[in-house]
């Protein structure tokens, strides 16, 4: 049953299923393994007397002074007060209504005497206030922690709760996959899964989460251990030949120490008889691509071919442009293979790969690994850029005895990386190239927004480019999404009217790629987007990054976004537009302002949030794990690694652990 598509859920037809697919929900199993991103705490009902800024909760009191005012067009402002005995909590809602007379919401509220309101308290002009709180005119039926799921337009949280309630009926079909002796330490799988969605309290949630995080790490380590435990032999590449020499001579800059060391590591690995499995880890902009280019040329020098795999089409194209620019003049035939490549061209490339008329193929992972047979593949390069999941990493082991070079910008401490990657060797590039000026990062009050955009226009007139990013709107509310798009359009027509602007947002479909490409090609001056712009975009003339409502992004994300600028000598700027209402929000933005080091940011962020903060929105944006957070969950990682090693040693083929074996198989494509 769990493999059934979500259309088996009542009221889910093909349309909803399509929307579900956007959330990676295809089967009932997916529904169960897609966890809430946060919870609403309905365990306690709080009096308005206790309300203070920064607090989030379910408030209950008598409602008074209800009013509704018409604003512009169809917009309305509803206001009311929730009465405590000593303090009043001000409530307001912005809403839209085309009907004459009062809005639907107002009518609901006007029938209420008592009101329950869930929301975040801010300090308003007239004391504590909640804007846009979720209200109930009778005591809400949920108690405990109520899940909040990731959404897309057309799917509401309420629907997702219905879906999970349905899917959980088949929970007994989920098998325990941890070995028995571990079950003294952790709750069983079924219990943990149920508790992730509907925890009775924070303790239960914490235990469930621990169990599932452990499981993620454990399965990850077991698969690495079973698949890659015996390192294979591979081609022994030749000492550096003419291509690599010419490449070094042509480099327009001096390599950093980190780059020199990484290159030495790669050289040693590639020349050895053992298969290279090396990870190059370095912050955005640290110059990992040079290492990849070196490795490619070294392979070609030795008579081999290379597959360069990149997570998205845009990135593939960029990587191709950058590689071809260096490789073609050296006479190294290089090709690009992406979804848009015409059938004819594709056949041509596949043919050339098979008889080695092409040496380097750059493309998306799927295309290359599924379609292309190389005559003499001796190196695979993977630019990970936060996107590849465990599955893809594992699929690589099929590539057999080619050397493997992975590039990653995920900031994790070295000790952790060692544990995590088991037998991947790691080279770290600790420093940015010399002369890189730190990005001038400023916190800007929304009142000064126009100044920022005046500055953007100025930079554009100097021939530079800029990004403007709006937070991904929780598209639960169509109104919100539309409002954001409207705001982007206004920006392009007003503040940025004098320059060439491209818009990219979640509801655009495929035409997004064209806009991004135009920006990359310099046909646009400013790229405004809601969805995260491609993580690896390398636009050298982009010098300004404006982030609207910056307090709504995670720190890792802000750091990644900022990394899109300042990739050349020119001074770059990052403007964080925000009016943080809480001390915590302010402190978090301060971290970004003062630090340019991704790892430090991750650590500071953790310190601020504290490892106990489970209810909050997941901010880490960790590429490999669904639930686990590498920094927060270090102890569990170590424990899982240890347990996995012992198990693999005792039972390398997993014959004694059929359920575990089945689970690992399921996770591999
Ligand atoms: P990332 O590590 O984020 O992939 P890239 O390899 O894309 O970084 O490098 C970012 C930019 O820095 C590129 O334009 C690249 O040409 C340049 N670069 C790389 N190494 C150096 C260096 N040693 N000195 C100066 N610029 C460099
Ligand atoms: Mg890169």
b/e per residue, 552-577, with b = 16+ CB within 10 A? bbebbbbbbbbbbbbbbebebbbbbb
Residue 506 has pLDDT above 80, yes or no: no
Rounded to a whole number, what is the distance in angstroms from the first to the last CA of the chain?
20
- Beta carbons of 656 and 180 less than 8 angstroms apart: no
For 128, phi and psi rounded to 5 degrees?
Answer: -65, 145
- Ligand 1, atom 4: nearest CA belongs to which residue? 288
User: Can you tell me which atom of ligand 1 is nearest the CA of 287?
Assistant: 6
Spans of all domains in the chain: 43-136, 256-429, 440-595
Tokens 């070295």 locate to: 414
C-alpha separations of 415 from 4, 13, 294, 326, 651 in Å:
41, 48, 27, 35, 27
**pLDDT at residue 275 in the model:** 84
- Residue 127 backbone zone (phi > 0: left; psi -120 to 50: alpha; other: beta): left
How far is ligand 1, taken at its centre, from the CA of residue 439, in Å?
15
**pLDDT at residue 308 in the model:** 93
Smallest CA-to-CA distance from 577 within 460, 489, 451, 403 is with 451
- Ligand 1, atom 22: nearest CA belongs to which residue? 433
- Beta carbons of 330 and 243 less than 8 angstroms apart: yes
C-alpha separations of 653 from 36, 391, 656 in Å:
35, 19, 8
Radius of gyration, CA atoms only, the chain: 27
Does the reported pTM lie above 0.75?
Answer: no
- Ligand 1, atom 20: nearest CA belongs to which residue? 287
- What are the structure tokens assigned to 509, written together? 């479909």
CA distance linking residue 29 with residue 59, whole number of Å: 35
Residue 248 has pLDDT above 70, yes or no: yes
Instruction: Assess whether the C-beta atom of 290 lies below 6 angstroms from ligand 1.
Output: yes
Instruction: Determine the average pLDDT of the residues in 536-559.
Output: 84
Instruction: Assess whether the C-beta atom of 48 lies below 6 angstroms from ligand 1.
Output: no
pLDDT grade for 616, boundaries at 50, 70 and 90: very low
- What are the structure tokens assigned to 540, written together? 């050298």
- Beta carbons of 186 and 192 less than 8 angstroms apart: yes
One DSSP character per residue, 482-514 reads HHHHHHHHHHHHTTTTTS-EEEE-GGGTTHHHH
Which residue would you say has higher pLDDT here, 588 or 270? 270
Residue 371 has pLDDT above 80, yes or no: no
How far is ligand 2, taken at its centre, from the CA of residue 63, in Å?
55
User: Can you tell me which atom of ligand 1 is nearest the CA of 282?
Assistant: 2
Residue 355 has pLDDT above 80, yes or no: yes
Q: What is the CATH number of domain 256-429?
A: 3.40.50.300
| Helix runs in 230-373, H state only | 242-250, 257-271, 288-301, 313-327, 343-354, 365-371
Instruction: Assess whether the C-beta atom of 284 lies below 6 angstroms from ligand 1.
Output: yes
- Most confident among 415-424, 540-549, 648-657 (mean pLDDT): 540-549
Instruction: Assess whether the C-beta atom of 281 lies below 6 angstroms from ligand 1.
Output: no
Instruction: Determine the average pLDDT of the residues in 620-649.
Output: 78
b/e per residue, 337-376, with b = 16+ CB within 10 A? bbeebeeeebeebbebbeeeebbbbbbbbebbbeebebee
Instruction: Determine the average pLDDT of the residues in 17-43.
Output: 92
CA distance linking residue 593 with residue 573, whole number of Å: 11
How far is ligand 1, taken at its centre, from the CA of residue 311, in Å?
19
CA distance linking residue 246 with residue 249, whole number of Å: 5
> What is the number of helices (H) and of strands (E) in the chain?
22, 23
b/e per residue, 43-59, with b = 16+ CB within 10 A? beebbbebbeeebbbbb
**pLDDT at residue 609 in the model:** 64
Same fold, 43-136 and 440-595: no
**pLDDT tens per residue, range 312-342:** 888 899 899 999 999 999 999 999 999 888 9
DSSP state of 5: B
- What are the structure tokens assigned to 318, written together? 């960029």
Which residue would you say has higher pLDDT here, 192 or 555? 192
Name the residue of 285, 381, 431, 520 whose CB sits within 8 Å of the most ligand 1 atoms, as the mutation to test its pocket: 285
**pLDDT tens per residue, range 415-437:** 666 666 666 788 889 888 887 78
C-alpha separations of 354 from 336, 359, 464, 590 in Å:
15, 10, 43, 54
- Ligand 1, atom 9: nearest CA belongs to which residue? 287
How far is ligand 2, taken at its centre, from the CA of residue 535, in Å?
9
Instruction: Determine the average pLDDT of the residues in 344-351.
Output: 94
Strand partners, 440: 573
Instruction: Assess whether the C-beta atom of 540 lies below 6 angstroms from ligand 1.
Output: yes
Residue 615 has pLDDT above 50, yes or no: no
- Beta carbons of 37 and 23 less than 8 angstroms apart: no
**pLDDT at residue 417 in the model:** 66
**pLDDT tens per residue, range 194-208:** 999 999 888 999 999
Number of the ligand closest to the Cα of 570: 1
Assign domain 440-595 to a CATH class.
alpha beta
How far is ligand 2, taken at its centre, from the CA of residue 560, in Å?
12
- What are the structure tokens assigned to 636, written together? 């569990």
Instruction: Assess whether the C-beta atom of 285 lies below 6 angstroms from ligand 1.
Output: yes
User: Can you tell me which atom of ligand 1 is nearest the CA of 292?
Assistant: 6
Q: What is the CATH number of domain 43-136?
A: 2.40.50.140
By residue count, the chain amounts to: 669
Name the residue of 257, 433, 542 whose CB sits within 8 Å of the most ligand 1 atoms, as the mutation to test its pocket: 433
User: Can you tell me which atom of ligand 1 is nearest the CA of 254?
Assistant: 23
CA distance linking residue 541 with residue 139, whole number of Å: 56
Instruction: Determine the average pLDDT of the residues in 456-468.
Output: 95
Instruction: Assess whether the C-beta atom of 289 lies below 6 angstroms from ligand 1.
Output: yes
In degrees, to the nearest 5, what angle opens at C-alpha 606 toward C-alphas 604 and 608?
70
Which residue would you say has higher pLDDT here, 428 or 237? 237
CA distance linking residue 492 with residue 173, whole number of Å: 52
- Ligand 1, atom 17: nearest CA belongs to which residue? 287
Instruction: Determine the average pLDDT of the residues in 364-375.
Output: 78
């Amino acid at each position: 049953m769990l493999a059934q598509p979500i259309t088996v859920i009542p009221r889910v037809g093909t349309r909803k299923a399509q929307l579900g697919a956007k959330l990676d929900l295809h089967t009932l199993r997916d529904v169960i393994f897609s966890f809430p991103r946060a919870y609403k705490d309905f365990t306690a009902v709080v009096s308005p007397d206790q309300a203070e800024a920064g607090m989030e909760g379910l408030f209950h009191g008598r409602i008074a002074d209800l009013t509704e005012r018409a604003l512009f067009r169809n917009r309305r402002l509803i206001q009311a007060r929730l009465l405590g005995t000593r303090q009043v909590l001000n409530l307001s809602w912005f809403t839209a209504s085309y009907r004459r007379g009062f809005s639907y919401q107002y009518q609901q509220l006007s029938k209420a005497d008592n009101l329950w309101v869930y929301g975040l308290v801010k300090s308003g002009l007239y004391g504590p206030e909640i804007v846009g709180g979720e209200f109930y005119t009778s005591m809400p039926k949920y108690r405990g922690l109520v899940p909040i799921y990731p959404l897309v337009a057309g799917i509401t949280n309420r629907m997702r709760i219905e879906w999970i309630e349905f899917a959980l009926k088949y929970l007994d079909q989920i098998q325990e996959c941890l070995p028995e002796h571990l079950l003294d330490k952790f709750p069983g799988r079924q219990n943990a899964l149920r508790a992730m969605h509907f925890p009775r309290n924070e303790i239960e949630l914490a235990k469930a989460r621990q169990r599932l995080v452990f499981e993620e790490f454990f399965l990850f380590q077991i698969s690495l251990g079973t698949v890659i435990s015996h390192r294979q032999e591979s081609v022994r590449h030749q000492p550096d030949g003419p291509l690599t020499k010419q490449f070094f001579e042509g480099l327009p800059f001096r390599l950093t120490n980190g780059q020199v060391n990484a290159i030495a590591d790669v050289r040693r690995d590639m020349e050895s008889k053992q298969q290279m499995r090396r990870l190059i880890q370095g912050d955005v902009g640290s110059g990992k691509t040079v290492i990849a280019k070196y490795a490619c040329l070294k392979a070609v020098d030795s008579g081999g071919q290379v597959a360069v795999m990149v997570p998205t089409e845009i990135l593939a194209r960029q990587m191709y442009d950058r590689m071809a620019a260096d490789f073609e003049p050296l006479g190294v035939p290089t090709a690009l293979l992406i979804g848009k490549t015409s059938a004819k061209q594709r056949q041509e490339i596949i043919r050339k790969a098979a008889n080695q008329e092409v040496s380097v193929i750059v493309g998306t992972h799927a295309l290359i690994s599924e379609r292309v047979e190389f005559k003499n593949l001796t190196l695979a390069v993977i630019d990970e850029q936060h996107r590849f999941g465990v599955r893809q990493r594992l699929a690589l082991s099929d590539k057999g005895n080619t050397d493997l070079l992975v590039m990653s910008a995920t900031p994790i401490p070295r000790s952790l990386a060692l544990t995590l990657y088991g037998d991947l060797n790691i080279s770290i590039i600790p420093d940015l190239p010399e002369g890189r000026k730190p990005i001038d990062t400023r916190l800007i009050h929304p009142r000064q927004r126009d100044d920022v955009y005046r500055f953007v226009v100025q930079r554009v007139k100097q021939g530079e480019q800029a990004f403007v990013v709006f937070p991904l709107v929780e598209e639960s509310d169509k109104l919100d999404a539309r409002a954001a798009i409207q705001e982007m359009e206004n920006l392009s027509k007003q503040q940025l009217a004098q320059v060439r602007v491209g818009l990219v947002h979640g509801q655009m479909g495929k035409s997004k790629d064209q806009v991004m490409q135009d920006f990359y090609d310099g046909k646009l001056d400013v790229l405004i987007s809601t969805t995260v712009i491609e993580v690896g975009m390398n636009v050298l003339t982009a010098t300004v990054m404006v982030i609207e409502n910056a307090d709504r992004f995670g720190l890792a994300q802000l750091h990644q976004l900022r990394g899109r600028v300042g990739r050349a000598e020119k001074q770059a700027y990052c403007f964080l537009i925000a009016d943080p209402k809480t001390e915590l929000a302010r402190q978090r933005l301060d971290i970004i302002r003062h630090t340019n080091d991704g790892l430090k940011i991750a650590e500071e962020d953790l310190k601020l949030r504290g490892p106990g903060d489970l209810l909050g929105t997941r901010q880490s944006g960790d590429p490999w794990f669904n639930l686990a957070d590498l920094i927060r969950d270090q102890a569990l990682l170590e424990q899982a690694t240890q347990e996995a090693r012992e198990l693999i040693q005792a039972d390398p083929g997993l014959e004694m652990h059929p359920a575990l074996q089945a689970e690992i198989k399921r996770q591999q494509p």
